[in-house]
Amino acid sequence: MKFGILVNEGPYNHQASDTAYQFTKAALEKGHEIFRVFFYNDGVNNGTRFGVPPQDDRNITKLWSELAEKHNLDLVVCVAAAQRRGILDADEAKRHGKDGDNIAPGFRISGLGQLIEAGIQADRLVVFGD
């Protein structure tokens, strides 16, 4: 089965991001395909490389990045939601006159069309968070 994943919550304020990660990892291990993981609303906070959790806590951004590298996942952060929360890639930072970017490895910034495409291309779109 081909899944699209939508993550609407940040990495440390709700369980949704952890559950989405575990679901995605399990689906891949069972041989399913993940068409795309789309981060929206506060979910875009999963895509910042500036988060520094305590050493004895999980680093959900790093886990997403590693999973993306291992399985060639498409991790897409909504551009509008990201800009509102100060998450920028190099192109967006330059376009807005900012002196740096903070997008984590394996993530990319794009628009809501990527979510629509995931809903069309996937057999199921699974939503995590409100």
Measure CA 124 to chain center: 17
In angstroms, what CA-CA distances link 79 with 56, 102, 116?
Answer: 31, 13, 14
What is each CA distance from 69 to 10, 51, 65, 85, 125, in whole angstroms?
Answer: 21, 19, 6, 25, 22
78 is catalytic: yes
- Residues 101 and 104: their CA atoms lie apart, in Å, by 9
Geometric angle at alpha carbon 100, from 97 and 105, rounded to 5°: 130
Q: Which of 78, 82, 109, 122 is catalytic?
A: 78
DSSP secondary structure code for residue 100 in this structure:
-
Residue positions annotated with a catalytic role: 78
